[in-house]
Structure 1
Amino acid sequence: MGEVKDVGRGRFSIVLDPLDGSSNVRSNNIFGTIFGVFDGTRLPARGADLLAAGYMIYGPATTLVYAARGAVHEFVQGGGGRTEEFFLMHEGLRLPAKGKLYGVGGHRDQWIPEVKGFVAELERDLMNLRYGGSFVGDFNQILHYGGFFAYPAQVDKPAGKYRLQFESNPIAFIAEAAGGAGTTGTERILDVAPAGIDQTVPTYVGNRDLVDRFRKRL
């Protein structure tokens, strides 16, 4: 369960998912941390009010992806033999013009029909399936190779799984800063009015053309 803690009279509010993909730890697969930064905004808050957002990936290399002022940058830990420092690896990351990958979480038999139909369409387009069980790892592949990722509305979970404050808003913020888009299927993720700190929303992010194609199915 999420909670809001007042730790003083500071200027910023921070949202944090400290261990995204926790089920991957046991099998030594990718997991990470997601964060968002608000300037003078009390929580819960709309994603459109984010000042910055980012995530860290603990994988073959420890990397940091950071978005602010409409730009996305990627850093790697330990460059040049200085293990405690982060070094700029990619500046001004943009989603590739043509998406190559897709991934969808949840159980296929519980996906709503529109999701099943869109996945079939992506497969006919010969897009490759990639799904690793951590939002940061799955989205990071979309950021680098282009495509579409979702944890969708399901028959048994119409509001999806990802928490708006801690997961969907920060990743959608990064997607938009990289030239992509994020939607709940009915509205832009960053425009969702928060109903509570643990509110969940269906989450669809990636190349803008693919997100728009999906929305037309709903």
Structure 2
Amino acid sequence: MRKALVAMALLGSLFANAQNDKRAATILDAMSNKYKTMTSFKVAFTYINEGTKETLKGDATVKGTKFRLKMAGQEIFNDGKIMTTYIKESNEATVNNYDPKEAGDIDPTKVYTIYKKGYKYTFLEEVTEAGKAYEVVELTPEKKDSKVAKLQIKVDKKDKSVKSWKIFQRSGQRLGFKVDSFVPNVKVDDKSFAFDASKYKGVEVIDLR
């Protein structure tokens, strides 16, 4: 289960930093600008491991620098200062100070905004699915030692929302994420981004601060 979140983690780092193709840049900038105008959002997604055929559901709620991510029996709370990872199977919560640099790989607040360094990008193709047109952009890491060979992002041509993305690892593994639903500007209490031990009976809290 934990490797599923690791796969999710690649999402944040893979959107990071790109350059080159003008059409790809236009698509990515439009996509990024769309999400930056939102005060908050909630996204439900499906994770797919094409090799093992493993399929998992997850969701994330984001508000500014705060987020709450659920997937594969794990839940990550971040209130902008403290980040807590709760594992349901062991009923254990690990608490750390929030470091944007260290949390970048699993930080959904950065997914749509950190694509401007470290990756080259090109427009790949335009496809039509269920009557809708999508533009596919391919990101390639500049670092030769990256575990990721490339990332493909599918963006709705009309409203610039992300439909899906696929990660190609150098090991041959392919991981996909598909957006099932997206709600912009959701009403969410800031308290929901902080872990409340009283709501988890018998939880063991490991404070690493």
Structure with the higher helix share, 1 or 2 = 1
Name the TM tier (shorter chain).
under 0.3
What's the TM-score once normalised by structure 2's chain length?
0.25
Larger relative contact order (C-alpha < 8 A, sep ≥ 6)?
2
